[in-house]
């Protein structure tokens, strides 16, 4: 083994882990991703990357790869009241084509990031993905991770990207912090656009293939939807307070099935065309939404938490994945000068810089996401108090970790 190689171990092959691998690839580095699942597939739903994340991936030279995975460039938001009448249209200001808000199928985004991390032809050796490798503990000072089968894997830097139910979080923070239920559950649906197009009641309201995000806002529940995979699929997320759900149970996993009957009951005061969209779904998922309060720290010794493991947030601003990509970019920026095996002090110093850059911003976006989950209209449904582009500038006009750190130093 070459003793001068910078060994990076990433726990978790989700959006955060793969983005970190894609960003950190470079000469003199070896990256191993430890992923617990043996299949490594995402669930069937859409995910939006906001401008802040799209810009990072474009700056990394990933536009060609991403284009092959068929994202839909979003034109903006159309806001409807519960009666189904359009009350606002908010076009997004367009940046360069690769740095817009783009909606992907989650499977496609994961595959694109996997290609960026694992394929030859980009800088540095490809990262290695080890499936069926569940991490159960870590030693932060030694930079070692122990797998379920007892194997110990050691790196100069360990990135814990093991998601909302992180196993490694407690080794970093010193406390067993669990993501807590937020009181909201999300139904998720993906339906073929051609099925929706056949329904005249839906077609009267909008063309589901058009790349707009539509939001139907009730007092305490809402539906957020739009096309992905270049307009061939239509994705819907319907948020309902747990206390008003008609389901007998909800779960912390993506895999729970919801019931169409109960979903329709929850939205029976919404316009009939909204319920018709629900009925077009071949299947229905249900997820109890959880989030974290800001943690006391994300770093200890050679280990850093990123993504949902560090700052799980509600999906109301669509920033969870985008913040994960910002974490990855910060690591790339602060470790930019390290092309040989670093000392423990060098790693700790750069992790401190990464954490200082990211913590306040991600914590604020966590808080905004909670605030945006508050009732969106007055009780009689008359006026909309929620502005979907509120805070858009703060979250989306981000130019990377080093520029952010420099701008904070000036303030």
Nearer to ligand FAD, 103 or 338 (CB): 103
Question: How deeply is 155 buried, as exposed, middle or buried, from its count of CB atoms within 10 A (0-12, 13-18, 19+)?
Answer: buried
**Closest distance to ligand FAD from the beta carbon of 258 (Å):** 12
Report if residue 373 touches ligand FAD, rule: CB under 6 A: no
Mention every residue, 6+ apart, whose C-beta is less than 8 A from residue 406.
none
Report if residue 237 touches ligand FAD, rule: CB under 6 A: yes
How far apart are alpha carbons 169 and 306 in whole angstroms?
10
Within 13 Å, how many C-alpha atoms sit on residue 68's CB side?
Answer: 10
CA-based max dimension of the chain: 68
Residue 110 vs residues 42, 362, 365: alpha-carbon distances, Å: 7, 22, 23
**Closest distance to ligand FAD from the beta carbon of 237 (Å):** 5
Q: Site for ligand FAD (CB under 6 A): which residue of 167, 235, 369, 395?
A: 167
Let me know: does 179 contact 293? Beta carbons within 8 Å: no
Residues of this chain, 12-41, that bind ligand FAD according to CB under 6 A: 12-17, 34-37
Residues of this chain, 248-287, that bind ligand FAD according to CB under 6 A: 287
Within 10 A of 64 (CB to CB), how many other CB atoms are there?
Answer: 8
Report if residue 47 touches ligand FAD, rule: CB under 6 A: yes
| Part in contact with ligand FAD (CB under 6 A); list of ranges 66-74, 119-127, 320-328, 371-379 | 320-328
Concatenate the DSSP letters of all residues of 316-345 into one string.
Answer: GGS-HHHHHHHHHHHHHHHTTT--SPPPHH
Q: Site for ligand FAD (CB under 6 A): which residue of 108, 162, 220, 353?
A: 162
The residue ranges of DSSP E strands in 112-212, in sequence order, are: 128-130, 135-139, 144-147, 152-154, 157-160, 180-192
Q: Site for ligand FAD (CB under 6 A): which residue of 6, 26, 30, 48?
A: 48
Torsion sign across C-alpha atoms 311, 313, 318, 320: positive
Residues of this chain, 124-143, that bind ligand FAD according to CB under 6 A: 134-135
**Closest distance to ligand FAD from the beta carbon of 47 (Å):** 5
**Closest distance to ligand FAD from the beta carbon of 351 (Å):** 17
Q: Site for ligand FAD (CB under 6 A): which residue of 266, 324, 332, 354?
A: 324
| Part in contact with ligand FAD (CB under 6 A); list of ranges 92-100, 173-181, 316-324, 332-340 | 316-324
How far apart are alpha carbons 66 and 54 in whole angstroms?
10
**Closest distance to ligand FAD from the beta carbon of 60 (Å):** 17
Q: How many residues make contact with ligand FAD (CB under 6 A)?
A: 35
**3-state SS, residue 160:** strand
| Part in contact with ligand FAD (CB under 6 A); list of ranges 200-208, 214-222, 260-268, 312-320 | 312-320
**Residues of this chain that bind ligand FAD (CB under 6 A):** 11-17, 34-37, 47-48, 134-135, 161-164, 167, 186, 188, 237, 287, 289, 307-309, 315, 318-322, 324
């Amino acid at each position: 083994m070459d003793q001068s190689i910078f060994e990076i171990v990433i726990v978790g092959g989700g959006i955060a882990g793969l983005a970190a691998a894609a960003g950190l690839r470079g000469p003199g580095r070896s990256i191993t991703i430890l992923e617990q699942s043996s299949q490594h597939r995402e669930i069937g739903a859409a995910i939006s990357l906001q401008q802040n994340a799209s810009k990072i991936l474009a700056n990394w030279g990933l536009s060609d790869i991403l284009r092959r995975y068929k994202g839909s460039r979003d034109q903006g938001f159309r806001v409807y009241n519960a009666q189904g009448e359009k009350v606002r249209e908010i076009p997004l200001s367009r940046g360069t084509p690769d740095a817009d808000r783009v909606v992907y199928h989650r499977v496609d985004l994961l595959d694109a990031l996997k290609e960026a991390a694992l394929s030859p032809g980009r800088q540095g050796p490809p990262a290695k993905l080890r499936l069926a490798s569940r991490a159960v503990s870590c030693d932060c000072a030694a930079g070692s991770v122990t797998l379920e089968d007892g194997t110990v894997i050691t790196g100069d830097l360990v990135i814990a990207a093991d998601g909302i139910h992180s196993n490694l979080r407690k080794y970093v923070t010193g406390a067993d912090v669990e993501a807590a239920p937020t009181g909201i559950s999300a139904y998720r649906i993906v339906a073929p656009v051609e099925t929706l197009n056949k329904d005249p009641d839906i077609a009267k309201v909008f063309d589901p293939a058009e790349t707009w995000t539509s939001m139907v806002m009730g007092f305490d529940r809402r539906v957020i939807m739009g096309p992905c995979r270049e307009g061939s699929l239509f994705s819907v997320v319907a948020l309902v307070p747990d206390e008003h759900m008609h389901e007998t149970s909800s779960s912390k996993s993506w895999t729970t099935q919801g019931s169409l009957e109960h979903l329709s009951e929850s939205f029976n005061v919404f316009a009939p065309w909204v319920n018709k969209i629900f009925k077009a779904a071949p299947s229905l998922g249900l997820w109890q939404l959880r989030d974290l309060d800001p943690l006391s720290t994300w770093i200890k010794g050679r280990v850093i938490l990123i993504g949902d493991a560090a700052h799980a947030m509600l999906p109301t601003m669509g920033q969870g994945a985008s913040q994960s990509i910002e974490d990855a970019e910060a690591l790339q920026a602060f470790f930019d000068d390290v092309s040989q095996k670093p000392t423990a002090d060098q790693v700790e110093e750069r992790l401190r810089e990464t954490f200082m850059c990211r913590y306040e911003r991600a914590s604020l976006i966590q808080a905004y996401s909670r605030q945006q989950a508050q009732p969106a209209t007055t009780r009689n449904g008359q006026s909309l108090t929620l502005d979907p582009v509120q805070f858009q500038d703060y979250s989306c006009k981000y130019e990377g970790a080093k520029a952010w750190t420099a701008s904070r130093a000036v303030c």
